[in-house]
Structure 1
Amino acid sequence: MARSLPYATGDVVAVPLRDEGFALGVVARADGKGIALGYFFGQRVDTLDNVAGPFDLEPGNASKICRFGDRGIIKGLWQVVGRVAEWDPEQWPVPTFCRNGEVLVQYDDQTLKIVSELKSSPQGCKDLPEDGLEGSGFVEIKLTRLLEAQNR
């Protein structure tokens, strides 16, 4: 049974980083049962004092796309800080993911359940996001590491 959520698709969330500041993410899909799909961006936001929407984020500029557990949002650790300007879910698709460097995985647009898995080559997986379901804390760690690597 779907539950009432404190967020909606198109919402922009501030993800707390493990060292300091926040990264922004867009909730592109949510199954209403604890799983969401997010596009996350690699620009550090030092404080939320001046963060206000609507936001002009572009899906092609995302540094990370993943399925994630929404516990961070539910518990208020990830704050909803606004919405994407002119939200259109078709502009923020559920991508094909890659599992273990060799399996293409496609999820249903609404339920986020697997609809197909196809064997591929490492080359076929090269530019695709990694498959998996990440906890909100893991997303925080991955984004922190991503931003650290960008600043080196």
Structure 2
Amino acid sequence: MARVPYKEGDLFAVPLRSEGYGIGIVARAAKYGGTFIFGYFFDRAFPVVPSLAEVESLSVADAIYVTKFANHGLKSGEWPILGAAALFERAKWPMPQFFRKEILYGKAAWLVTYDEDRPGRFINEFRCDPSLAGQFPDDFIDFYGAVEIKLSMMLADGRGSRAISTF
């Protein structure tokens, strides 16, 4: 399998739909590629691609969004990789369980666990109370354009809250 240009702990820039760049970090990625990544996205926007020195102090506390996402933006170079966060420690960037709700009636819900070493690989799921919606990230994979749109909207409307769920 071909190697990919990113690894866990890499910070990267995400082009925002209006102008400027948001920032993300690869928190989980398969060692030898794989299409899906788990990452954190932060509450900061920059008018141009920032340097690694400008963003490497970002922490979990600065994140406004977490998601599993497709790697196309990183693999194609559309999302510039800034470099490895010097103090990245995997344990400090946890991969949570994800929330899935039955769509038709909304009366059933599950907490879903994915493989820490292969973020796209399902491990198990457990039934839970539907009222847990919003307390866990939604269980789906964002394609890179969706990440750009969601992060753009969150930063534009001042969602500096620590909400990690999608909308």
Deviation at 1:57, TM superposition (A): 1.5
1:105 to 2:112 alignment: yes
Match of 1:68 in 2: 69
Match of 1:78 in 2: 79
Deviation at 1:125, TM superposition (A): 3.4
**Equivalent AA in structure 2 for residue 66 of structure 1:** T
1: CA distance, partners of 2:83 / 2:141 = 24
**Equivalent AA in structure 2 for residue 80 of structure 1:** I
1:129 to 2:137 alignment: yes
Q: Percent identity?
A: 34
2: CA distance, partners of 1:41 / 1:21 = 14
1: CA distance, partners of 2:94 / 2:2 = 23
In the TM superposition, 1:10-29 aligns within 5 A as 10-29=9-28
Secondary structure of residue in 1 paired with 2:157: helix
2: CA distance, partners of 1:137 / 1:126 = 22
Paired residues, what number?
149
Aligned CA RMSD, in angstroms, stands at: 1.6
Q: Is the 8 A contact 1:22 1:47 kept in 2?
A: yes
Match of 2:34 in 1: 33
CA shift digits 1:22-57 (9 cap, x unpaired): 110000111211111110012111112x52337011
Deviation at 1:93, TM superposition (A): 1.5
1:117 to 2:125 alignment: yes
Secondary structure of residue in 1 paired with 2:68: strand
Secondary structure of residue in 2 paired with 1:66: strand
2: CA distance, partners of 1:117 / 1:52 = 37
1: CA distance, partners of 2:2 / 2:94 = 23
1: CA distance, partners of 2:98 / 2:62 = 17
**Equivalent AA in structure 2 for residue 128 of structure 1:** F
Unaligned runs of 5+ residues in structure 2 are 160-167
2: CA distance, partners of 1:59 / 1:3 = 30
Unaligned runs of 5+ residues in structure 1 are none
CA shift digits 1:96-152 (9 cap, x unpaired): 11112722111111022111111111333332111111111110011011112217x
**Equivalent AA in structure 1 for residue 35 of structure 2:** G
Question: Deviation above 6 Å: which 4+ runs of structure 1?
Answer: none
